[in-house]
Amino acid sequence: MKKPEEMNFMELYNYYSRLERAGFRNIRYIIQLYEKLSYPTINFVMILFGISLALNSRWGGGMMAAGLGVIISVLYWLLYSVSISLGNTGILQPWLAPWISPVVFGIAGSVMYWRIKE
């Protein structure tokens, strides 16, 4: 049998449903289900940040924008990891934990994009 991390969304959903019908409720599996939905949004958020940094003349040259891109990526990963950990411990709701980073950084990237001077 596969580990939950190795399962696709439907396999994990079916596995969790069987456990729940048997009387077991594991928050980690719920969070992993939502992670499988939220994780692909990283691509869109990072593209939004990349476009915003590349087109914004205030950030200087390409190397400055590339450096900021790396810093933003690390901050995204850090917030994502912390929110997943808080979800696994029960501090955050299981549906909320995987979506904090995409929402926060998506809003920040959108603001940066709208502030680009023409």
- Rounded CA separation 73/68 (Å): 8
At 59-113, the pLDDT tens digits run 656 778 778 888 999 999 999 999 999 999 999 999 999 999 999 999 999 998 8
3-state secondary structure of 90: coil
pLDDT recorded at residue 31: 94
pLDDT recorded at residue 59: 61
pLDDT recorded at residue 7: 92
Tell me the pTM.
0.83
